[in-house]
Structure 1
């Protein structure tokens, strides 16, 4: 079914959406709604500076490659807490993410940000769906992101299909950094994502974690900051799979293949646990996974 688009005059306020998410329980049997949200907005330079500082991203004429996800976060929250959305937001697991930088992310806007849902599909641990985000300017599509979200225990007809595995490339150490105990709270203030699993050990224990865990998108943004010499300004996509959670405080080592049009990466902890793995490759600006 085609997406039914709703145009918002301003981004929705987050406090009410967090309350709606906290009160929502249970899984309904209805399908995912064919609802999409659009909103025009511009970048606040002070907010961008805070985001760069928290994620260790150097100043640049271009927006960071993961930043459009932050711009779209209020719209994502409104879509995932809509009364027609059948799954509880708390408990969804972000398992994969892909960003496509189609053109250089220059300027501060105005941009049109949009979010919509992909189809629900079977997974070995439940059901997965895509949350699709786009950033456009007056010339068209600039950036596209796809987050794969897992709902554990959900019964979806069909057979789960595992993505193809790429031939491993030689990796070498690129960077190391610490993930301090308060990085979840600092990133939450910069991103708006106040999921309790990231904020403190007390709130994380309510969801089965011994300590707070780092945001997956902080891991990805911090990784992209260290791969600036490996990646072009545009014309590429970078896909990652979020694996073992990074408990806070912690420390990681980023490994990557040699700079080039295509490559692979791995983010590992001191004990060798892989927290995130991924790859990058060129993309065709005309070949988007989901047409608007």
Structure 2
């Protein structure tokens, strides 16, 4: 498929995008658009500082590996609320996230982002598609991300692809942290992700959750901040599956394997409740 790109001077206001998302409640088609969005985006120093503090990243002169996701959030939301995108944003479940840090994220003030969707396929609980986000500087591709999302209401012909589980490595506790009842609101204030399931118990109950749950990308960011001593500055991929949501408030424990070139992680709660499982590896 030939990708058609729409270049933007800036992203739309989040308020209007959320209003557009609230108005779309039904599936409108069974094919993904071949149109992607591209836009130059600036690093906002105050936002970066707030993000580092929120997710416990030290200021080492480089962007946190999850920060380009935050920079691109409005562009992603603009694509997912476009009339051409057939799935309603409300109700999509973030199942998987993979980030590639191709070159060091230092000395960056401006990046060119591109976002598109692909790979619509059957899933045992509905159907999934991948949102692909890339960031480039003057030298080329610097960072990329793939987020897999589940739409429970969409049924496709064919069988869901079988997952491949890697051989488990020995893990030991690396750290633990407490997810406060207001972490969803604090993350939303910095990152712009005001999904109601993260904001309060009352708003989460409207979508079937007994209490608010933590943002999956906050959990991944916290894990990456704790793993900085395990990971190289660049040339690696770290992928996670989001399992059981982190209900707020609660304590979580991060286990990891003690290797730098490749390894595995597991974020769990008490009682062997698994929230997030993943692995990192060096890029070929």
Q: CA deviation at 1:29?
A: 2.5
2:31 is aligned with 1:31: yes
- Taking the aligned partners of 1:243 and 1:200, their CA distance within structure 2 comes to 20
What's the counterpart of residue 50 of structure 2?
Answer: 50
- Taking the aligned partners of 1:184 and 1:50, their CA distance within structure 2 comes to 14
What's the counterpart of residue 152 of structure 1?
Answer: 152
2:161 is aligned with 1:165: no
Q: CA deviation at 1:2?
A: 1.3
What's the counterpart of residue 289 of structure 1?
Answer: none
2:97 is aligned with 1:91: no
User: What are the Cα deviations for residues 177-204 of structure 1, in whole angstroms up to 9, with x where unaligned?
Assistant: 0000000000001110000000000000
Contact 2:5 2:38 in 1 (8 A): yes
Structure 2 spans left out of the alignment, 5+ residues: none
What's the counterpart of residue 69 of structure 1?
Answer: 69
2:279 is aligned with 1:279: yes
**In the comparison of the two structures, how many residue pairs are matched?**
284
Q: CA deviation at 1:58?
A: 1.1
What's the counterpart of residue 258 of structure 2?
Answer: 258
TM-score (norm 1): 0.96
Q: Secondary structure at the match of 2:119?
A: coil
- Taking the aligned partners of 1:135 and 1:125, their CA distance within structure 2 comes to 31
User: What are the Cα deviations for residues 21-77 of structure 1, in whole angstroms up to 9, with x where unaligned?
Assistant: 011111123411111000012101100001111111111111001111111100110
- Taking the aligned partners of 1:140 and 1:157, their CA distance within structure 2 comes to 38
- Where does 1:1-292 land on structure 2 (aligned, <5 Å)? 1-284=1-284
Q: CA deviation at 1:3?
A: 1.3
Aligned-CA RMSD value: 0.8
- Taking the aligned partners of 1:35 and 1:107, their CA distance within structure 2 comes to 31
Q: Secondary structure at the match of 2:53?
A: helix
Residues 194-203 or 251-260, more deviating: 251-260
- Taking the aligned partners of 1:23 and 1:36, their CA distance within structure 2 comes to 22
Q: Which consecutive aligned stretches of 4+ in structure 1 deviate over 3 angstroms post-superposition?
A: none
Contact 1:179 1:251 in 2 (8 A): yes
Q: CA deviation at 1:162?
A: 2.1
Q: CA deviation at 1:159?
A: 1.3
Contact 2:115 2:134 in 1 (8 A): yes
Q: Secondary structure at the match of 2:221?
A: helix
Q: CA deviation at 1:271?
A: 2.2
- Taking the aligned partners of 1:113 and 1:279, their CA distance within structure 2 comes to 25
Q: CA deviation at 1:118?
A: 1.0
- Taking the aligned partners of 1:220 and 1:30, their CA distance within structure 2 comes to 31
